[in-house]
Amino acid sequence: MKDYIWHLEEVIIRVLADYKITGTRLVNAPGVWTDMQAHGKTRKIAAVGVRASRFITMHGFALNVNTDMSFFELINPCGFTNEAVCSMEEISGEKQDMDNVKSSIKKHFSDVFGMEF
């Protein structure tokens, strides 16, 4: 399962690189984080989740593209209290074209997992 999560994170890190955003992993903190600091906190830009129960798997990721980050002021995303969240739009300073982001995800997903859509 750890390898699968690593591969999902790798897809997102490569997508972010297409937009000149540095994504990274943190030990014991699944998801993708940015090197950019906000109020002294590392910021999470993508959540990754995988669950297996009764021979059924559920998995996915949530990449904050043009997300309204004000909603996250009311919660502790993923249970982390010392970190903040951010979006591609917030980092780049401009709204991202969702179709372009989706195309980048498909490309890198295919590359990382060695498959075609």
Record the pTM. Answer: 0.86
Residue 53 is predicted with a pLDDT of: 85
Nearest CA to 43 out of 88, 85, 89 is that of: 85
Instruction: Examine the residue annotation and report whether 78 is marked as an active-site residue of this protein.
Output: yes
Say which of 38, 47, 78, 112 is annotated catalytic: 78
- Domain extent listing, the chain: 2-111
Given a contact cutoff of 8 angstroms between Cβ atoms, the answer to whether 88 and 101 are in contact is yes
Euclidean distance between CA atoms 31 and 106, whole angstroms: 18
Name the E strands within the chain.
23-26, 29-38, 41-53, 56-63, 84-85
Given a contact cutoff of 8 angstroms between Cβ atoms, the answer to whether 32 and 44 are in contact is yes
Q: Which CATH superfamily is domain 2-111 in?
A: Bira Bifunctional Protein; Domain 2 (3.30.930.10)
- Residues 55-71: tens digit of each pLDDT: 887 778 999 999 988 87
